[in-house]
Amino acid sequence: MQLKPSVIDKLALMICGDSPFNYFPYRSSSNLTLFFREIDLDYRHNGSTRKYWVSSVLEELNKKPPMVTDLPSVEIKNVIENLLSPVQFMENPTADHQKAVDAVRVLLKSQQNLTVVKDSNTGNIELRQIIDGFVSTSVEIAEAKKVITFTPSVFSIPNKPLIDNLVAVMMPFIMEFDNVYQTIKQACTNVDMLCYRVNDIWNNSAIIQDIFELIYCSSIVIVDFSNKNPNVFYEAGIAHTLGKNVIPRAKM
């Protein structure tokens, strides 16, 4: 399936953050290049009018063969999912993630049988088919998922839900990192996200259980690898295993 030209044009405006879609993050020339590189597409903005350049890129991606007949190409799928990734909205106080998701749903409704849904485990947005009124799981795509049952002995699996607007920060608890944490916390507050470091909470007698529960319930985990702290690497491994959106950072 190829997207209609009218859908491509509006997606281009959304990616640029241009009117009437000002509730998407605004992207300058360099940020447009970064947007595509984030999904391993090596397109570099050439200085031309941004919306026309993005439209030309999308038109090229739209012509690539799909892996599933009733879905667009994998590249277009990745573009739409990256456009709505919660990470894209974190540091932009004028952006509105839910409004953006709703706008893409309305846009895709004009296309045949497509929508976007939020993954209840990771918080990620996924492009899906609507078949006979039901949203498919798109399991035919090569990224087939395997359910793993695990019974860790070091910590217990909490009976708690995923919190869509919760960000967990993993870093050493020393003064050197306090300013970084406060900056992250303020950025999260600006976009109505909750932000916690494990020393903000004390629910269990063992700190590893508090760490696991914070990661388990969060939709985004920010990991500071500065100083190569082994505990932080361990916590990053937990976050990746649980399928979280992990944002790494390190002091240069």
pLDDT at 148: 63
β-strand partners of 114: 129
pLDDT at 120: 63
So what's the pLDDT on residue 109?
83
For the cut 70, the answer to whether the pLDDT of residue 183 exceeds it is yes
Burial string for 216-240 (b: 16+ CB within 10 Å, else e) reads bbbbbbbbbeeeebeebeebbebbe
Higher pLDDT, 20 or 150: 20
What pLDDT, in 10s, does the model give residues 154-181? Answer: 788 888 888 888 999 999 888 889 999 9
What CA–CA distance (Å, rounded) separates 93 from 75?
Answer: 28
The full set of domain ranges for the chain reads 5-135, 163-249
44-58 pLDDT tens trace: 999 999 999 999 999
- Predicted confidence at residue 224, as pLDDT, reads 94
Claim: this prediction has a pTM higher than 0.85: no
Q: Which pLDDT score, from 0 to 100, does residue 136 have?
A: 45
User: What pLDDT, on the 0 to 100 scale, is given for residue 8?
Assistant: 95
Average pLDDT of every residue of the chain? 85
Kindly report, residue by residue over 98-154, the tens digit of the pLDDT.
Answer: 899 999 999 988 776 788 887 766 667 888 876 554 444 444 444 444 556 667 777
Kindly report, residue by residue over 185-220, the tens digit of the pLDDT: 999 999 889 999 988 887 777 888 999 999 999 999
Assign a CATH topology to domain 163-249: Rossmann fold (3.40.50)
pLDDT of residue 250: 87
| pLDDT reported for residue 202 | 78
At 122 the pLDDT is: 63
Q: Is 144 helix (H, G, I), strand (E, B) or coil?
A: coil
CA dist list (Å): 50 to 28, 32, 55, 160: 8, 8, 9, 44
Largest CA distance in the chain: 58
In sign, the C-alpha dihedral spanning 228, 40, 78, 69 is: negative
